[in-house]
Structure 1
Amino acid sequence: MTIPMELQHASEDFERFLRDAKEQSGLATRNQVFTMVQGVLQTFRRRLDVREALAFADVLPPILRAIFVSDWDLDEPKRPFEDRVIMTREVQALRRDHNFSPDTAIRDVAVALRKNVDGPAFERALAALPTEASEFWCV
């Protein structure tokens, strides 16, 4: 079997995603964007059980999938979906002294993510999750 195309082009696809997220958020550097993206993905992941999170991860491009599941504390209790402001503060709490995520971080990542995933597969994955999951990724 040949190497799947999504793996062959994972770096290029990730760079395109970072550019989209940088443009959407107005952040200045790739490092700032990476922290924002990681914070958004972790904030979302904390609101899913393991099965839900893995099903969602399956529709992410390879490098985003890796970021989504990395540093996962499986003993951390599942959190409820909350007001967008509260979840944004959670995003901004990751590496607080080096985090420049704007108040629009969740929306900014959602816009960039939707440009870089298989749209129908993404919507099917969200439809299988709690209603709040779709609202989290709403643009």
Structure 2
Amino acid sequence: MPIPLDLQHATEQFDRFLADARDTAGLGTRNQAYTMVEGVLAVFRRRLSVEEAIRFAGVLPPVLRAIFVADWDPAEPRRPFADRAALTAEVQDLRRHHNFAPASAIADVAAALRRNMDEDTLDRVLAALPEGAADYWKA
């Protein structure tokens, strides 16, 4: 069996996504965009059970899937979804002194994600996740 195309082109796909997220958020560098994306994914992951997180990770593009599960402590207590301002503050807490995520970070990453993967697949998995999951990924 040949290597799946999404794995063969994972780096290029991630580069396009990261540039899209950077530009959407009005950030200046890929490093700033990476920290924002990492924060958005980690904040979402904290609101899912292990099974739910695996289901969500399974539809992400390969590099985003890896970022989503990196440094994961499955024993960390599950957090409830909160209002957008509280969730954004949590995103901005990741590497606080080097984090340039704007107040629109979650929506910016959601918009870039939706432009860089199949939206129907994303929406289908979000519909099976806890209340608040679909709202989190609204662009």
The TM-score by the shorter chain falls in which range?
over 0.9
The normalised TM-score by structure 2 is 0.99
Q: Could you tell me which residue of structure 1 aligns to residue 39 of structure 2?
A: 39
Number of aligned pairs? 139
Shift of 1:131: 2.5
Q: Percent identity among equivalent residues?
A: 61
Per-residue Cα deviation, 1:20-79 (whole angstroms, up to 9, x for no partner): 101100000000000000000000000000000000001100000000000001111000
Within 5 Å, give how 1:1-139 maps onto structure 2: 1-139=1-139
Structure 1 residue ranges, 4+ long, deviating more than 3 angstroms after superposition: none
Q: Identify unmatched segments of 5+ residues in structure 1.
A: none
Q: C-alpha distance in 2, partners of 1:102/1:123?
A: 25
Q: C-alpha distance in 1, partners of 2:84/2:120?
A: 25
The normalised TM-score by structure 1 is 0.99
Q: Identify unmatched segments of 5+ residues in structure 2.
A: none
Shift of 1:81: 0.1
Tell me the C-alpha RMSD between the 2 structures: 0.6
